[in-house]
A = this chain, B = another copy of it.
Amino acid sequence: MTDPLPEDLWPDVRPDAARRLMAAAIESFATRGYHATTTRDIANAAGMSPAALYVHFPSKAAVLSAISRSGHEQALEMIQSVVTSTDDPVEAIQSIVQRFVAWHAKRHRVARVVQYELQALPPEEYQVVADLRRRTEQLVRDVISAGVASGRFKVADIRSAARAVLSLGIDVARWYTEGSKPSPGVLGRQYGELVLGMLGA
């Protein structure tokens, strides 16, 4: 594993074995793709038996669902916490972009599964995740709208601007690797500045 997955990535996941299986699944999906990965591959990568996997997850799709839901919940909570911490849309969008971009760089392997494996989710789980995504996008649109209303931003189409802001973060997961420069934190700050320009701040 080139991207260590410390406890703080999934603080709510217990026991350790479940977390180890989620980390092993991310490695396996990254290597083979979701569809070509078996529960045996995941169990092996975690140093466990397939039977031990089923103690924690009923299926491969359940492992994916746990990873995806956790990632989407974390993104939503991060943006919510920024939004509740400031009334200044410039400060809010800059902080959101910094943190969103840095997370996608630092956790690029997890982020790839979270962002690119939506189609493989079971329908019910997909609905949960789609709702988390809608709420996340809506928060970003609200911040941009507030900035436009107060004259701090100048944007022709709020929906497209919000998509562009999130795209800049999400696409980092596609290209960022362990050897990439700049560091996640620096990239986040650079993109935060670029987004302020994009929104006419």
Binding site for B on A (CB under 8 A): 32-36, 115-116, 154, 156-157, 160-161, 163-164, 167-168, 170-172, 174-175, 182, 187, 190-191, 193-195, 197-200
Nearest opposing residue in chain B for A200, CB measure: B197
| Protomer copies | 2
Chain A interface mostly helix, strand, loop or mixed? helix
Which of B36, B154, B171, B198 interacts with A171 by CB under 8 Å?
Answer: B171
Residues of B within 8 A of A193 (CB): 156
Residues of B within 8 A of A191 (CB): 160, 164
Contact A174/B182 with A36-B36, A191-B160 known, Cβ cut-off 8 Å: no
Which of B156, B157, B187 interacts with A160 by CB under 8 Å?
Answer: B187
**Could you list 9 A-B pairs, sorted by A, with CB under 8 Å?**
A32-B35, A33-B34, A157-B182, A160-B187, A167-B168, A167-B175, A170-B174, A171-B171, A198-B198
Residues of B within 8 A of A157 (CB): 182, 190
Which of B33, B115, B160, B182 interacts with A33 by CB under 8 Å?
Answer: B33
* Cα(A170)–Cα(B116), bound, Å: 13
* Cα(A116)–Cα(B175), bound, Å: 10
